[in-house]
Amino acid sequence: MSRIIGLDLGSKTCGVSISDRSQLVARAMTTIRFESDDYDTCFDRILELLDKEQIHEVVLGLPKHMNGDIGIRGQLSLDFAEELKKEGITVHLWDERLTTVSAERILLQGDVSRKKRKKIIDQMAAVEILQGYLDRQKNGG
């Protein structure tokens, strides 16, 4: 099996996680930082990362409102997914509601300082997104 990348796309950062080769466990990888709403730069850096790691599959967080509607942030993720698909990348969209809240809770339980949490929260949200997808696949999709 090949590895999969998980992405938590924000307006200035993109948290990145990566699976192991067996696609059972997700771990934090990096945070891509870019100028506010400069998704072209973010996109190019993700393509470089995918090429370097020889990965062709991505799980991208899809932000939705609590009622399930897709707003502006969700539409940006849908557009981002379409651009990745044009590059030959397989993209799975994953409902990311409450992933950042869950990641924050995990970091608080681990007694991680506020300064350190700020640096890694996006990566942890990406781990939550990818791990949710991997768990679903493991349990029969």
Structure tokens at 11: 């307006």
pLDDT at position 70 over 70: yes
> What pLDDT is attached to residue 104?
66
- What residues make up the domain containing 72? 5-138
Q: What is the pLDDT of residues 89-106, one digit of tens each?
A: 999 999 886 666 666 676
Report helix, strand or coil for 97.
coil
Residues 124, 5, 135, 26: is their CA dihedral positive or negative?
A: negative
Report helix, strand or coil for 102.
helix
Q: What is the CATH number of the domain that holds 27?
A: 3.30.420.140
What distance in Å separates the CA atoms of residue 86 and residue 75, rounded to the nearest whole number? 17
DSSP character for 23?
Answer: S
User: Would you give the end-to-end CA distance of the chain in angstroms?
Assistant: 17
Q: What is the pLDDT of residues 28-45, one digit of tens each?
A: 999 999 999 899 999 999
**Number of domains present in the structure of the chain:** 1
